Amino acid sequence: MTTFNDFDLRNGPLSGQNLIEASAGTGKTFTISRLFLRLLLERHLEVDQILVVTFTEAATNELNDRIQKVLMQTRAAFRGRPTEDQFIKSYVEHFETAHRDRAEEWLEKAIQEFDEAAIFTIHKFCNRVLVESAFESGGLFDTELITEQTTLLKEIVEDFWRKNVSQQSGLFLRYALAKLSPERLFKLLGNKVGVQKVKIIPDATPKDCDTEERDFIASYGLLRKTWSTSWDSVTRMLEEHSGLSKKYDSAKIKLWRINMDAYLAPATPNPDLFNDFSMFTAKGLEKGTLKGHSPPTHSVLDICLQHHADFEELESCYAGRLIALKKGLFEYTREELRKRKQEKNIFYFDDLLGNLHTALEGNAALARTVREKYKAALIDEFQDTDRVQYDIFKTIFAHPDSTLFLIGDPKQAIYGFRGADIFAYMEAKERITARNRFTLTTNYRSEPKLISAVNAIFQDVNKEEAFLYEQVPFQAARPAERDNAAELRFRDQAVSNAPLQLWFVDPATASQTGKRLNNAETKTFIIAAVAAEIVRLLNLGRDEKAFIGENKLLEKHIAVLVRANADAGKIQAALKRLKVNSVLYSTESLFSSHEALEVERVLASIAEPRRHSLLRAAVSTEL
């Protein structure tokens, strides 16, 4: 069982290897900024000796701004100015007397030199190390950083296609072209090229399909020869046989015959049987024969059965060859990309990670150089790191002389598509001693009653299995003390204001036919129910029966979260039908909206006023 200790931000450790799990709303950025402050004043570190690493540029900018403000607020507090920040107030009041006179001096120096603060994204950190330690890392001084490598990757994929696909047998090429293309291979690579230490499964090797090809071609030739002289007797036998099920009605038999004629028309076979080819095999006929009857027999049907078996053998072999080709693509691309970048003296963002990781392998001097420069490291959003990133931090900072804080929340691991590895997080957690595993349990973001409701849901669940893995347990949060004046409340005490309510759809009552709703019908029902509930709440607000704090409940107080953009549009449409105005927050282009289309129609009519069709389109809009 994984155990955690509540983190004491005022008196917690400032040395060693530490893990802080911080659920959403528990003050992660607040904690990082105050740790930075304590490292400055208690460890007497310079701003450029404290490394802060996070995942995105936006997070870097936020941390930079928050930390600088904390330093300025603390300096003002040491000068006797009042502050509303309770941590800073308490920290200044209890700061050790021996260094109190110098604290303002240290803060002033830190603020003046804050432009030198080492607050980076992981890529900028790697680039800084590689540039500043070029001799130790074996890097070149004039290497160019490129911001996109799409063109280079496409060239490599096209070369791989020419070398490994176009040289295959004609039969395999016909099979492969139906499933692969350079464009599809490029899409397959996606963003996985830059992921280091990735294991490709299955571990396939190219298969020799010569035997399977010969057997398939031979049975095709035999079937083609015999079908041309026997198709009439075969179809007539099937149509007249009284023991066949409705699967073999006359219309279907005629369609299958047309498909068979088309399949056997080329002199060389197509390694892809048409649908229902198996209906001409003995095995297929056996399944389609009624009880008490014997299936029809014919020598052509036996040949069809053999050809079908040869096709399955060939397809299995070809499928294995395709997998081997895809695996070979990753190996070829990784090696070829490295060579071509080396020749052009360029590198991409992901190469920064790989280059530093490689440079650190067996290079204790480089790790020592970085460790001496950064006396303490705070790694934000650690749940979104991958294996390579973790190895870099571990190699540099997993040392008795270093201070390392890994800060994150495995429940918020959202960058798996970019290579983030939750198992790297779990490994890091196990390497840190139990006394140095901490958690932030006070939630400052959510309403107290909502926090209690979420805790109630999980209280009877095995906490080690709440999020699938024992290493990601559920930690109950405590609500922060706050003013509850902004809570939703109703004048009628009988109306429930429970902060978390679960709706269950009863198929028997939801469906007008009494039949179970399918997925599409269920979604339509739920959307209508959500829209109706919003109207009910708004009506209560208009009647001064529902309030947010002291204010009437209005549209702006309500938000709807959905899983997909399409669902958001459907919710908005349902609200619009009920005369409720709403704003759609979406990543889709503004110009793809219905309103943009209607504005375009009006503008087109203004631009060409003599065109009556445009005028009619304009006056038909809702504008």
* pLDDT tens-digit map of 492-522: 877 777 889 988 877 667 777 667 778 888 8
pLDDT surpassing 80 at residue 586: no
Structure-block tokens of residue 84: 């509303």
Per the CB < 8 A criterion, the answer to whether 157 and 382 are in contact is: no
Percentage of residues in the chain with pLDDT exceeding 70? 94
Percentage of residues in the chain with pLDDT exceeding 90? 51
Cis, bond preceding 202 (omega within 30 deg of 0): yes
On whether residue 250 sits in a domain, the answer given is yes
Q: Which of these three, 289, 323, 344, is where a domain ends?
A: 344
Per the CB < 8 A criterion, the answer to whether 200 and 327 are in contact is: yes
Q: Is 548 left (phi over 0), alpha (psi -120 to 50) or beta?
A: beta
Which carries the bigger pLDDT value, residue 277 or residue 587? 277
- Same-domain status, 449 and 420: no
- Same-domain status, 320 and 178: yes
On whether residue 1 sits in a domain, the answer given is no
Please name which of 412, 410, 382, 411 lies closest in space to residue 394, comparing C-alpha atoms.
382
Residue 14 burial by Cβ neighbours in a 10 Å radius (0-12, 13-18, 19+) = middle
DSSP letter for each residue of 248-307: G-HHHHHHHHHHHHHHHSSSS--SSPPTTGGGGSHHHHHHTBPTT-PPP--HHHHHHHHH
Average per-residue pLDDT in the chain?
88
SS3 state at 51:
strand
On whether residue 473 sits in a domain, the answer given is yes
Structure-block tokens of residue 254: 């005629």
Query: Within 10 A of 148 (CB to CB), how many other CB atoms are there?
Result: 9
Q: Would you state the pLDDT for residue 195? A: 59
Q: Would you state the pLDDT for residue 555? A: 93
pLDDT surpassing 80 at residue 125: yes
Q: Would you state the pLDDT for residue 141? A: 62
Query: Within 10 A of 542 (CB to CB), how many other CB atoms are there?
Result: 12
Per the CB < 8 A criterion, the answer to whether 422 and 416 are in contact is: yes
Per the CB < 8 A criterion, the answer to whether 360 and 367 are in contact is: yes
Question: Region 79-91: what's the mean pLDDT?
Answer: 93
Q: Would you state the pLDDT for residue 98? A: 72
Distance CA 392, CA 548 (A): 49
On whether residue 155 sits in a domain, the answer given is no
pLDDT surpassing 80 at residue 607: yes
* pLDDT tens-digit map of 131-154: 888 776 666 667 788 888 999 999
Of 61-70, 228-237, 280-289, 588-597, the least confident: 588-597
- E strands, 435-525, where? 437-440, 442-443, 478-479, 488-490
- Same-domain status, 24 and 118: yes
Angle, vertex CA 329, rays to CA 327 and CA 334, nearest 5:
105
On whether residue 254 sits in a domain, the answer given is yes
Of 312-321, 371-380, 461-470, 521-530, the least confident: 461-470
* Pairing mode, strands 488-490 and 546-548: antiparallel
* pLDDT tens-digit map of 262-287: 999 999 999 999 989 999 888 888 88
Question: Region 27-46: what's the mean pLDDT?
Answer: 96
pLDDT surpassing 70 at residue 414: no
Q: Would you state the pLDDT for residue 417? A: 47
Per the CB < 8 A criterion, the answer to whether 441 and 475 are in contact is: yes
- Name the phi and psi angles at 555, rounded to 5: -55, -40
SS3 state at 496:
coil
- Same-domain status, 533 and 567: yes
* pLDDT tens-digit map of 450-480: 999 988 888 777 666 677 777 788 888 898 8
Question: Region 604-616: what's the mean pLDDT?
Answer: 90
Q: Residue 391 sits in a domain of what CATH number? A: 3.40.50.300
- Same-domain status, 57 and 120: yes
Which carries the bigger pLDDT value, residue 200 or residue 456? 456
- Same-domain status, 478 and 492: no
Query: Within 10 A of 32 (CB to CB), how many other CB atoms are there?
Result: 24
- Same-domain status, 258 and 334: yes
Please name which of 197, 194, 188, 191 lies closest in space to residue 328, comparing C-alpha atoms.
188
Which carries the bigger pLDDT value, residue 420 or residue 377? 377
Q: Would you state the pLDDT for residue 570? A: 92
Question: Region 14-19: what's the mean pLDDT?
Answer: 94
415 falls in which pLDDT band (50, 70, 90)? low
Distance CA 599, CA 302 (A): 67
Q: Would you state the pLDDT for residue 420? A: 58
| Bridge partners for 376 per DSSP | 50, 403
On whether residue 244 sits in a domain, the answer given is yes
Q: Would you state the pLDDT for residue 171? A: 94
Structure-block tokens of residue 361: 């392998």
pLDDT surpassing 60 at residue 40: yes
- Same-domain status, 364 and 478: no
Distance CA 200, CA 334 (A): 12
Structure-block tokens of residue 599: 């504005």
Q: Which of these three, 312, 344, 376, is where a domain ends?
A: 344
* pLDDT tens-digit map of 47-72: 999 999 998 899 999 999 999 999 99
Distance CA 13, CA 69 (A): 23
Question: Region 246-250: what's the mean pLDDT?
Answer: 88
Q: Would you state the pLDDT for residue 536? A: 94
Number of domains making up the chain? 5
Distance CA 285, CA 6 (A): 70
Per the CB < 8 A criterion, the answer to whether 387 and 197 are in contact is: yes
- Same-domain status, 335 and 194: yes
Which carries the bigger pLDDT value, residue 119 or residue 592? 119
- Same-domain status, 189 and 304: yes
On whether residue 9 sits in a domain, the answer given is no
Please name which of 328, 307, 82, 352 lies closest in space to residue 216, comparing C-alpha atoms.
307
Q: Would you state the pLDDT for residue 550? A: 87
Please name which of 289, 303, 291, 312 lies closest in space to residue 234, comparing C-alpha atoms.
303
485 falls in which pLDDT band (50, 70, 90)? low
Total number of residues shown for the chain: 623
For residue 53, give the amino acid letter.
V
- Same-domain status, 220 and 247: yes
Question: Region 554-581: what's the mean pLDDT?
Answer: 91
Residue 481 burial by Cβ neighbours in a 10 Å radius (0-12, 13-18, 19+) = exposed
Of 42-46, 584-588, 599-603, the least confident: 584-588
At which residue do the structure tokens 């939750």 appear? 422
| Domain encompassing residue 295 | 166-344
pLDDT surpassing 90 at residue 612: no
Q: Would you state the pLDDT for residue 193? A: 75
- Same-domain status, 186 and 324: yes
Which run of H or of E encompasses 5?
strand 5-6
On whether residue 51 sits in a domain, the answer given is yes
Q: Which of these three, 407, 440, 473, is where a domain ends?
A: 440
pLDDT surpassing 90 at residue 310: yes
Per the CB < 8 A criterion, the answer to whether 422 and 21 are in contact is: no
